């Protein structure tokens, strides 16, 4: 297989064939591709903040913020600008190069969006890259965020089209694809990935990666999440995914999308250092940094610093990904 080929025409059987490779052969191939496009000892670091928590109208079976489920998450109003600034300043001081803001909405109203716009402008003044995840967007709303200076928009596909209805019924897969199209057309970097360990099959994991890799342009960032099981949600108590299958998926994401930043995202709190190290070798070169991911736990900053020191990894402070973005008119 050519290692320098960027494709958008992958077939399902090709992805499944990669899953069938011996583990060492798969990691060898992924790491070769990784080195051709990235510094394997640099990791992009983002910090994620929930700027509006709880009472979401969506029924995502993994999410404790859904208003459909009885969890310990309490509804909170949109954070004040000054509080967002304090969190962003702390993130920058701790070494983050990107500050991500999430709001538990199905989609923002125009009034909601104006408040998010002010947050984006504020964080940009701190010389941090900006990312938001606030649900579905219209084309006009995406343009508004672009004008505010937004660098990245996160909107995950979550899983394969075939398995999607087992997890979410309140919005369609096409709704998600439409939002990604609006974001791309506005000239904003796309951040889109999925969640593993929700009871999906290997074919579903291949289907998710296929959807991402066959978009007209690969996402600049692909977060691969391991399900964090939250009591009160329908997926609590489901059988956990084998770590080797998770590592395989990271490796295949790297092979399918060579230039993309593959983020080792939610679920790291339950991963040992060896699993994370293999993910970094397989091609993961981005993480969320900080002790909280929206409402879930994340490894303490000192733990990540210690792991980076053991592996000889450095936080990448270069904002080159934003500079290389091609605007689609």
d(CA 284, CA 286): 6
Per-residue pLDDT at 93 = 85
Beta carbons within 10 angstroms of residue 7's beta carbon? 13
* Per annotation, catalytic residue among 56, 144, 205, 279: 56
**β-pairing verdict for 221-226 and 194-196:** parallel
- Which residues face 223 on adjacent strands? 263
Task: Convert 172-186 to b/e letters by CB count within 10 Å (16 or more is b).
Answer: ebeebbbbbbbbbeb
Per-residue pLDDT at 140 = 96
Q: Which contiguous run of DSSP H or E holds residue 46?
A: strand 42-52
Per-residue pLDDT at 134 = 92
Q: Is 268 a catalytic residue?
A: no
- Confidence (pTM): 0.88
* Per annotation, catalytic residue among 171, 184, 205, 263: 263
Number of separate helices (H) and strands (E) present in the chain: 11, 12
Asked if 317 and 176 touch (Cβ cutoff 8 Å), the reply is no
> Helix, strand, or coil here: 216?
coil
* Per annotation, catalytic residue among 191, 205, 248, 268: 191
Task: Count CA atoms closer than 13 A to 211's CA, side-chain side.
Answer: 23
Give the position of tokens 């990904």: 321
**First-to-last C-alpha distance (Å) of the chain:** 33
- DSSP state at residue 268: G
Q: Is 279 a catalytic residue?
A: no
Per-residue pLDDT at 323 = 38
Beta carbons within 10 angstroms of residue 130's beta carbon? 25
Asked if 187 and 146 touch (Cβ cutoff 8 Å), the reply is yes
Beta carbons within 10 angstroms of residue 301's beta carbon? 15
Q: Is 35 a catalytic residue?
A: no
Per-residue pLDDT at 231 = 86
Per-residue pLDDT at 319 = 45
Asked if 278 and 27 touch (Cβ cutoff 8 Å), the reply is yes
Per-residue pLDDT at 298 = 61
* Per annotation, catalytic residue among 98, 100, 171, 205: 100
Per-residue pLDDT at 322 = 40
**Residues in CB range of 36: below 8 A, 6 or more apart:** 3, 4, 258
pLDDT in tens, the chain (329 residues): 555 578 999 999 999 999 999 999 999 999 999 999 999 999 998 888 888 876 687 888 888 776 566 666 666 678 899 999 998 998 888 888 899 998 888 888 888 899 999 999 999 999 999 999 999 999 999 999 999 999 999 999 999 999 999 999 998 999 999 999 999 999 999 999 999 999 999 999 999 999 999 999 999 999 999 999 888 888 888 999 999 999 999 999 999 999 999 999 888 888 999 999 999 999 999 998 765 554 455 667 788 888 999 999 998 754 444 433 333 32
* Per annotation, catalytic residue among 98, 131, 171, 268: 131
């Amino acid at each position: 297989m050519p290692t320098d080929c960027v494709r958008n025409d992958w077939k399902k059987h090709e992805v499944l064939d990669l899953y069938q490779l011996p583990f060492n052969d798969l990691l060898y191939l992924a790491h070769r591709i990784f080195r051709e496009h990235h510094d394997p000892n640099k990791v992009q670091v983002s910090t994620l903040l929930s700027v509006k928590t709880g009472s979401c109208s969506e029924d995502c079976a993994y999410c404790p913020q859904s208003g459909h489920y009885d969890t310990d998450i309490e509804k909170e109003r949109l954070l004040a600008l000054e509080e967002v600034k304090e969190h962003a300043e702390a993130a920058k001081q701790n070494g983050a190069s990107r500050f991500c803001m999430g709001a538990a909405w199905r989609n923002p109203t125009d009034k909601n969006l104006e408040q998010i716009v002010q947050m984006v402008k504020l964080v940009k003044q701190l010389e941090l890259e900006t990312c938001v995840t606030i649900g579905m967007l219209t084309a006009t709303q995406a343009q508004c965020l672009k004008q505010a200076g937004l660098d990245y928009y996160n909107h995950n596909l979550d899983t394969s089209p075939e398995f999607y209805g087992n997890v979410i019924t309140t919005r369609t897969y096409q709704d998600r694809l439409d939002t990604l199209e609006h974001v791309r057309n506005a000239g904003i970097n796309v951040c889109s990935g999925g969640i593993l360990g929700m009871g999906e099959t290997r074919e579903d994991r291949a289907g998710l990666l296929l959807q991402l890799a066959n978009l007209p342009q690969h996402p600049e960032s692909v977060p691969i999440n391991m399900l964090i099981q939250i009591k009160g949600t329908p997926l609590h108590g489901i059988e956990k995914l084998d770590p080797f299958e998770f590592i395989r998926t990271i490796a295949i994401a790297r092979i399918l999308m060579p230039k993309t930043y593959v983020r080792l995202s939610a679920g790291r709190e339950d991963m040992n250092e060896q699993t994370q190290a293999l993910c970094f070798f397989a091609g993961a070169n981005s993480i969320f940094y900080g002790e909280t991911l929206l409402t879930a736990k994340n490894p303490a900053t000192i733990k990540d610093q210690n792991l980076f020191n053991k592996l000889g990894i450095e936080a990448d402070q270069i904002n080159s990904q934003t500079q290389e973005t091609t605007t689609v008119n």
